[in-house]
């Protein structure tokens, strides 16, 4: 059973159709990069997978959860699916450790001691053990993004979604965040990422999906897709991203 199944999903904002019958299947442990121009529907698709956007027709199933708008179903879905955004969304008045411990304590009811050991574990995973008592404002953008990833990992998700997580960072900080994501991929985490980092998509993602005009225009093993794009649209996109 695939970890994520998307079948013929349509999504409109008013009269604007953003997703025009998107279908996609992601196996457990697979890393899928979603690329394409702004406005092609990439981020909207990711938000539909996590129930943050309501789609009009089609079907999405994620690790056994069928997407609907039942609040109880959404709560249980979000225990299994983590999402990290371009903006870090950390609480500035809480320390790094408190930011990470909050969700496991509230949604899973774990004890303070267990939440603390979880925070220690995931901060070690992202290389920030020494920052547990720091406040977000005292961290670089790259460090804040790594804390946001750690916060998602603390929920023990089965699937991780990343939405342009490096687009607000300079190249040096981008590298440290991509390194964390690469380690997650090596550890077998099922990941879908919307990204502009073509070299990361090419080398780390098993599969790359090129979206264009609200559709999956082309998809396949990353090495093949980048080496020999079948459509002119993808050739143009890859060519433009090299400059």
The CB-side HSE value for 230 (13 A sphere, CA atoms) comes to 11
Q: Determine, yes or no, domain membership for 126.
A: no
Q: Is the pLDDT of residue 184 over 90?
A: yes
Domain of residue 215: give its range: 4-91+159-241
CA separation for the pair 175, 191 (Å, rounded): 18
Domain count, the chain: 1
| The two three-digit tokens of residue 129, written as one number | 């053990």
| The two three-digit tokens of residue 242, written as one number | 């090299």
Q: Determine, yes or no, domain membership for 150.
A: no
Q: Determine, yes or no, domain membership for 198.
A: yes
Query: 3-state DSSP helix/strand/coil percent for the chain, to nearest 5?
Result: 40, 25, 35
Token match 């991509």: residue?
Answer: 178
Is there a contact between 9 and 55 (Cβ–Cβ < 8 Å)?
Answer: yes
Is there a contact between 89 and 136 (Cβ–Cβ < 8 Å)?
Answer: no
pLDDT digits 0-9 by tens, 138-151: 999 999 999 999 99
Q: Is the pLDDT of residue 172 over 90?
A: no
* Sequence-distant (≥ 6) Cβ neighbours of residue 212 within 8 angstroms: 36, 37, 40, 233, 234, 237
Q: Determine, yes or no, domain membership for 148.
A: no
Q: Determine, yes or no, domain membership for 143.
A: no
Higher pLDDT, 243 or 113: 113
Average pLDDT, the chain: 93
Neighbours of 54 (CB within 10 A): 11
The CB-side HSE value for 128 (13 A sphere, CA atoms) comes to 30
Q: Is the pLDDT of residue 169 over 60?
A: yes
- The total number of residues written for the chain in this structure: 243
Token match 């996109």: residue?
Answer: 237
Here the CATH number for the domain that contains residue 61 is 3.40.50.300
Q: For 91, phi and psi rounded to 5 degrees?
A: -80, 115
The arithmetic mean of pLDDT across residues 41-65, rounded, is: 94
Strand partners, 11: 19
Percent of the chain with pLDDT over 90: 83
Q: Taking the model in full, what pTM does it have? A: 0.93
Token match 């001691």: residue?
Answer: 113
Q: Determine, yes or no, domain membership for 144.
A: no
Q: Determine, yes or no, domain membership for 228.
A: yes
Q: Is the pLDDT of residue 242 over 80?
A: no
């Amino acid at each position: 059973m695939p970890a994520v199944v998307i079948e013929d999903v349509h999504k409109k904002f008013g009269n604007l159709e953003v997703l025009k019958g998107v279908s996609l299947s992601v196996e457990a442990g697979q890393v899928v990069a979603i690329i394409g121009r702004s406005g092609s529907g990439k981020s909207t698709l990711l938000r539909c997978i996590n129930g943050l956007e309501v789609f009009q027709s089609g079907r999405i199933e994620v690790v056994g959860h069928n997407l609907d708008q039942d609040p109880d179903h959404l709560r249980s879905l979000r225990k299994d699916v983590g999402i990290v955004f371009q903006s870090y969304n950390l609480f500035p008045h809480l320390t790094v450790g408190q930011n990470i411990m909050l969700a496991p304590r509230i949604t899973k009811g774990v004890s303070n001691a267990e939440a603390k050991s979880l925070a220690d574990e995931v901060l070690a995973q992202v290389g920030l053990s020494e920052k547990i008592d720091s406040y977000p404002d005292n961290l670089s953008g790259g460090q804040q993004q790594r804390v946001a990833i750690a916060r998602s990992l603390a929920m023990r998700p089965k699937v991780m979604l990343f939405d342009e997580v490096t687009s607000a960072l300079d190249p040096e900080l981008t590298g440290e965040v991509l390194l964390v994501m690469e380690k997650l991929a090596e550890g077998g985490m099922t990941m879908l990422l919307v990204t502009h980092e073509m070299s990361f998509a090419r080398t780390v993602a098993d599969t790359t999906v090129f979206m264009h005009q609200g559709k999956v225009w082309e998809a396949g093993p990353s090495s093949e897709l980048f080496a020999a794009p079948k459509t002119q649209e993808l050739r143009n996109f890859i060519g433009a991203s090299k400059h």
